[in-house]
DNA sequence: CTCCTCCATTAACAATTGTAAAGAAATGCG
DNA sequence: CGCATTTCTTTACAATTGTTAATGGAGGAG
């Protein structure tokens, strides 16, 4: 149950067996069904999730329609991260795209870990840095690439999601409408012929 | 010379006078003229800068033209952050927009600080988290706002930059051409009348 | 102070995207 | 299993943006 978590952690810090046990004890297992809401816009996120199975979708609710901020897959930490970090009301919602197996840790438990395991600071720093690098890569794609290039890159890196996730969720993630994305798909398919 | 730095640091961690001295010793003062290049695309960034005076511009070089990634102002840590973190060749360049007074710290000195001051991990974690929150706010503006709204928000938050920085640098930062930004400015000015 | 480069705006046209609507296909749920 | 909802594509039109080019003005270098 904790294998994937330990594997991810090991990329950044080395824990002894006793430290690993402390880490495991801070988490609670939780299985949630499709469409289950983990964080609602306006609430403060006080849980962080490690995804063992399934996918979560982070999204903005804007005048009735929903705009995807990020899609979290297996072996990632997910949350409305800025709300969790600042303990301020979330501007995003978090929901299960599929039935998901999660390891849940609360904010108080995190603070206990900072006390018990000094190295935990290093771990969360590395995770924050990775999230930053990731956010910046997406941002650079908005500055440097055309919508067509942005879609093409997405397919390269996350092509499998096209089969697992409704297209209009991906379209809003790429900053375009489903109609426009469909046109782009059409254009690219014709180029291949 | 270190007042502003200590003030920023104090927001996140409390250092004793001796710890402050260790921190100060890790930095070197450097004054650079306008247009001075601190990091060039392709190089590995091994310095981090705290800006005492002046402004720095982080930008992509894309097929001849330059696209602004960020504009750093006084009292901020600046760098090609992802290159500095990963110690990989930078995909961005960093340059002085105005004559600037900088406090410079190198990657090796940072590692010394991690050893000498355990709390330094907390500090850099907080900084990484802030940068992430910041990057995400900008990203959300690309997903949620029209170019016009994005410009309006920029004026609200950084209006003074319109007087200090050439407009075409701001336009590329907002993901539009100078021509389009000029049209938006025209439209908004007429609405006010 | 003067020259020259850089900069902001405007205009006209092409290309792309958004919007609204409709139909076909696929999927979820009782 | 079958109905209802969701999803994807296509079409036509309006709106916005990008591109190219020209103008007038501002600001820096010598």
**What does the domain layout of chain A look like in residue ranges?**
3-117
Instruction: Give the span between the Cα atoms of A69 and A83, in whole angstroms.
Output: 14
CB contact under 8 A, B142 and A140: no
B147 touches strand D (CB under 7 A): yes
Instruction: Give the span between the Cα atoms of A40 and A95, in whole angstroms.
Output: 8
| HEC per residue, chain A | CCHHHHHHHHCCCCCCHHHHHHHHHCCEEEEECCCCEEECCCCECCEEEEEEECCEEEEEEECCEEEEEEEECCCCEECCHHHHHHCCECCCEEEECCCEEEEEEEHHHHHHHHHHCCHHHHHHHHHHHHHHHHHHHHHHHHHHCCHHHHHHHHHHHHCCHHHHCCHHHHHHHCCCCHHHHHHHHHHHHHHHC
Distance CA B131 to C1' C17 in A: 32
**CATH, domain A3-117, list 2.60.120.10, 3.40.50.12160, 3.30.1330.10, 2.60.120.260:** 2.60.120.10
Q: One digit per residue, pLDDT tens: chain B, 193 residues?
A: 899 999 999 999 999 999 999 999 999 999 998 889 999 999 999 999 999 999 999 999 877 789 999 999 999 999 998 899 889 999 999 999 988 999 999 999 999 999 898 888 888 888 888 888 888 899 999 999 999 999 999 999 998 999 899 999 999 999 999 999 999 999 888 765 5
Q: What is the pLDDT of residues A28-55, one digit of tens each?
A: 999 999 999 999 999 999 999 999 999 9
The residue of chain A with its CA nearest to that of B175 is A143
CB contact under 8 A, B60 and A133: no
The residue of chain A with its CA nearest to that of B176 is A143
Distance CA A152 to C1' D10 in A: 22
CB contact under 8 A, B144 and A81: no
Indicate the pairing of strand A77-78 with strand A65-72: unpaired
Q: Taken in order A9, A85, A140, B83, is the CA torsion positive or negative?
A: negative
CATH code of the domain made up of B3-119? 2.60.120.10
Mutation target among B128, B170, B173, B176 for the A interface, most CBs of A within 10 A: B128
Q: What are phi and psi of A44, to 5 degrees?
A: -90, 130
A98 touches strand D (CB under 7 A): no
* ipTM of the prediction greater than 0.95, yes or no: no
Instruction: Give the span between the Cα atoms of B50 and B28, in whole angstroms.
Output: 10
Q: What is the pLDDT of residues A6-29, one digit of tens each?
A: 999 999 999 999 999 999 999 999
Interface of B with A in 95-154 (CB under 8 A): 118, 121-122, 124-125, 128-129, 131-133, 135-136, 138-140, 142-144
Instruction: Give the span between the Cα atoms of B102 and B92, in whole angstroms.
Output: 19
Mutation target among A93, A135, A142 for the B interface, most CBs of B within 10 A: A135
Q: What is the pLDDT of residues A110-122, one digit of tens each?
A: 999 998 988 888 8
Q: How far is A111 from chain B (nearest CA, A)?
A: 12
CB contact under 8 A, B82 and A136: yes
A186 touches strand D (CB under 7 A): yes
Question: B133 and B24 in contact (C-beta within 8 Å)?
Answer: no
- In strand D, the nucleotides that come within 7 Å of a protein beta carbon are 6-12, 16-21, 29
């Amino acid at each position: 149950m904790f294998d994937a978590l330990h594997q991810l952690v090991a990329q950044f810090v080395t824990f002894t067996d006793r430290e690993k046990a402390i880490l495991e004890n801070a988490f609670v297992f939780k299985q949630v069904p499709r469409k289950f809401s983990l964080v609602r816009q306006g609430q403060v996120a006080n849980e962080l999730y490690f995804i063992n199975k399934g996918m979560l979708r982070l999204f903005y609710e804007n005048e009735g329609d929903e705009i995807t901020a990020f899609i979290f897959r297996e072996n990632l930490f997910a949350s409305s991260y800025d709300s969790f970090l600042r303990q301020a009301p979330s501007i995003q919602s978090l929901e299960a795209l599929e039935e998901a197996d999660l390891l849940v840790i609360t904010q108080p438990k995190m603070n206990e870990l900072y006390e018990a395991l000094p190295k935990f600071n290093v771990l969360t720093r590395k995770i924050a840095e990775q999230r930053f690098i990731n956010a910046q890569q997406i941002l650079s794609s908005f500055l440097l690439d055309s919508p067509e290039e942005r879609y093409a890159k997405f397919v390269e890196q996350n092509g499998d999601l096209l089969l697992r996730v409704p297209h209009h969720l991906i379209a809003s993630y790429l900053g375009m409408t489903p109609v426009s994305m469909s046109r782009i798909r059409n254009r690219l398919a014709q180029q291949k012929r």
